[in-house]
Amino acid sequence: MMETFPIVKRRDEKLHGEYRTKRAILLEIYDSIKLGIGTGEPYLTVWQQPADPSLAHSPRIGMNVIGALRKAVALVTRATAMWTELIQETVQHCVISQEKSRNA
């Protein structure tokens, strides 16, 4: 996406010897935000004036919680399948036993 701004790129390379806007400003800020989401710590802005907390979104569930929920759902799904199979085998065994006792 940043490659769509060739004038900014040329200016950065001339002044700083690198595409500073892309690396230092955007990618480093993105990495800081991503780290904050992963750890649950709030992102600390690089700007002098932080945003008014009353204007902020409510806290999000951290990715570690979402990952744990996904694992729990997978475990419950597997356990349900195992119980279903066990119940079906038990019912089948009961039916076979009843048929044998009738025929005896």
Q: Where are the domains of the chain?
A: 1-46, 61-104
Q: Which pLDDT score is estimated for 55?
A: 73
Q: State the average pLDDT over residues 45-60.
A: 67
Q: State the average pLDDT over residues 56-72.
A: 71
Look up the pTM and report it.
0.34
Rounded Cα distance, 19 and 72, in Å: 44
Which residue bears the tokens 């002044």? Answer: 15
Q: Is the pLDDT of residue 75 over 80?
A: yes
